[in-house]
Amino acid sequence: MPGKMSRKLKKNWGILGEKMEQINYVVLGLPGSGKGTQAALLAKETGLVHISTGDEFRKIREEDSDIGRRVRELIDAGNLGTDEVANAIFLRVIKNPEVEKGAVFDGYPRRVTQAEFFKEYREVTKCIFIDVSEEECAKRMGARRVCSECNANYNTIYIKPKEEGVCDKCGGELKVRDDSTPEAIQKRFEVYHKETEPTVDYYEEKGLLLRVNGEQPIDDVFEELKKGLE
Ligand SMILES: [Zn+2]
State the distance from the centre of ligand 1 to the C-alpha of 70, rounded, in angstroms: 33
Q: 69 catalytic, yes or no?
A: no
Residue 154: inside a domain: no
123-137 exposure pattern, b = at least 16 Cβ within 10 A, e = fewer = ebbbbbbbbbebeeb
Does residue 11 have a pLDDT over 50? no
Identify whether 186 is part of a domain. Answer: no
- Centre of ligand 1 from the C-alpha of residue 58, in Å: 21
What are the helix (H) ranges across 33-166? Answer: 35-46, 53-61, 66-76, 83-93, 112-119, 134-142
Contact yes or no for 81/62 (Cβ under 8 A): no
Q: What residue numbers bound the domain in which 105 lies? A: 4-132+195-229
Centre of ligand 1 to C-alpha 153, Å, is: 9
Q: Quick one: which of 188, 41, 195 has its CA closest to 109? A: 195
Residue 81 has pLDDT above 70, yes or no: no
- List the one residue out of 127, 102, 114, 99 whose CA is nearest residue 35: 127
- Contact, 27 vs 39, CB < 8 A? yes
| Terminal CA-CA length for the chain | 16
53 pLDDT band (50/70/90 cuts)?
A: confident
User: Which candidate in 10, 61, 126, 177 is catalytic?
Assistant: 177
- CA distances to 52, 73, 89, 96, 107 from 63, rounded to whole Å, are 17, 13, 13, 17, 20
Helical residues (DSSP H) of 14-64, grouped into ranges: 35-46, 53-61
Q: Tell me the pTM.
A: 0.83
| pLDDT on residue 14 | 47
Residue 75 lies in a domain: yes
Residue 84 placed within a domain = yes
With respect to residue 183, please indicate whether it lies within any of the assigned structural domains. Answer: no
Instruction: Give residue 6's pLDDT band: very low, low, confident or very high (50, 70, 90).
Output: low
Domain assignment present for 146 = no
We report the CATH number of the domain holding residue 224 as 3.40.50.300
**What pLDDT is attached to residue 44?**
96
- What pLDDT, on the 0 to 100 scale, is given for residue 79? 64
Asked, for residue 163, whether it belongs to a domain, the answer is: no
Structural domain total, the chain: 1
pLDDT above 50 (res 153): yes
Choose the catalytic residue: 101, 110, 145, 226: 110
| C-alpha 7 – ligand 1 centre gap (Å) | 43
CA distance 17 to 19: 6
66-99 core/surface letters (b: 16 or more CB in 10 A; e: else): ebeeebeebeeeeeeeebebbbbbbeebbeeeeb
Asked if residue 173 belongs to a domain, the reply is no
Band the pLDDT of 2: cuts 50, 70, 90: very low
pLDDT digits (tens, 9 = 90+) for 131-151: 999 999 999 999 999 999 999
Which phi and psi (to 5°) does residue 120 adopt? Answer: -70, -20
Question: What mean pLDDT comes out for the span 154-180?
Answer: 92
Count each helix (H run) and each strand (E run) in the chain, helices first: 10, 8
